[in-house]
Amino acid sequence: MALYSLLLAAVFIVGAPYWLLRMVTSGRYRAGLAERLGCVPDGFHLAASGRDVIWLHAVSVGEVLAATRLVSELESSLGPTWLIVISTTTATGQALARERFSACGSHPIFYYPLDFAFAVRPWLHALQPKLFVLMESELWPRMLSECRSQEIPVAVVNARVSDRSFLRGMRVRGLWRRLLAKPSLFLAQSDEDARRLVAMGAEAQDVHVSGNLKYDVRAPKQSRIAEQIRILAAGRPILVAGSTHGATGQESSSEDEVLLQAWDAVQGEHPSLLVLAPRHPQRFGAVEALITKRSYLKASSLNEATPTTPADIILLDTIGDLAAVYSVATVAFVGGSLVPHGGHNPLEPAQFALPILMGPSFENFRDIVRRLRAEQGIAITDNAEELRTSLTELLSNAEKATGMGRRAKSVFEQQQGATVRTVKALLALLPGPSEDQP
């Protein structure tokens, strides 16, 4: 652990000039700095006093969304003597967590501390959690070591191992075995994820398959932005392109450029409204630059007043509204898939019975895509031409689009139940209260 701390410190020292510059030029990098360094606000001491605490860590937006129902079900099962606190790593995750969990002030939200003893220990001392829950598979050695030394059980829920992580993990299996021995429980999304965890060094008796929490995501109430988009469409079909990414070293075009090319090609015969939802806020400006010569509006302006000007494109420049916007869509494209990012979650549009399009990179959701393809609830398109062909088919053949969407929703519904299984497993790790639960 001492060597790990030295190496981590070296990384921070070498990168300090860059991070200092970013903190000076961007408020996003200053956000939560004191909390990341181990400064615990007084309110957390007060909130945790006299209560049993569960600390849940959700890295970013995707993990926060997956945790939403889990937190609600845990809270219902445990009762008022328990407190669930939530940490995130990214600013976008923090914003969504505050929106989802702290509206009534019942769930303190904070930034996850840096993985140094001086930052981790103050939080553990203040909260004294009975259980530490990690969403998916972000494992930090110092935190795991401190939890082990203080006899705090650690559960990794909704765990998955991507192709890239598996290949890297197997190369240093000896190191991973020591790290994977520290959590008390792994709840994997699929049989393949469980197999990979064991192959990398986790104890087989500690690894169980509970399913994917994202199958249990509940359809959100329709937001004002979603309703305004529906009004702006004025009866036209709505194509929602969610979680789009920029170009990588292997591609010269961003996903938004490819989508615009395909969408332009079908506009003459099948006019529609296009919603572009970049995955990362820092890309909002770049995507807006692509559409400045077109008829467009930014979603952030739709919260202010009913738009009076027509638009053909909506830039979804807000956080946490994508799922609600899918609810008014006609066709969905799931991003991170035309570029090699492994794809994003196609279940969000599937719950609304939408026909789904994705590119060929879907490694991060291979099991979900496999199930959708088996039921013909998704179409994989490799490039702009194939995307144009699929769009034409879905916009011109309502029966085909409806059937495809219905099959996608059937897959979504068949796989639900992960939350119930996860709650049951977590309650079994808790001292005392879990024994009283039905």
Cα–Cα dist 341/435, whole Å = 43
User: Which among 335, 363, 305, 320 is positioned nearest to 239, based on CA atoms?
Assistant: 335
Q: Which residues pair with 154 in a beta bridge?
A: 132
For the chain, the farthest-separated pair of C-alpha atoms sits apart, in whole angstroms, at 66
Amino acid at 278: P
Cα–Cα dist 130/296, whole Å = 50
Q: Is the dihedral of CA 122, 127, 130, 132 positive or negative?
A: negative
116 contact partners, CB below 8 Å, separation of at least 6: 5, 8, 9, 38, 142
Q: What are phi and psi for residue 2, nearest 5 degrees?
A: -65, -40
Element (H, E) at 135: strand 131-135
What proportions of the chain, in percent to the nearest 5, are helix, strand and coil? 50, 15, 35
Please confirm, yes or no, whether 227 is among the known catalytic residues: no
The C-alpha angle 158, 65, 97, rounded to 5 degrees, equals: 120
Cα–Cα dist 313/309, whole Å = 12
Sheet architecture: strand order including 313-315: 296-298, 313-315, 273-278, 238-244, 331-334, 356-358, 378-380
Cα–Cα dist 46/44, whole Å = 5
Q: What are phi and psi for residue 314, nearest 5 degrees?
A: -115, 125
Take residue 70 and report the two structure tokens written for it. 């889990």
- Helix, strand, or coil (residue 49): coil
Residue count (the chain): 438
- Helix, strand, or coil (residue 56): strand
The catalytically annotated residue of 35, 63, 146, 257 is: 63
Element (H, E) at 278: strand 273-278
Q: Name the residues annotated as catalytic.
A: 63
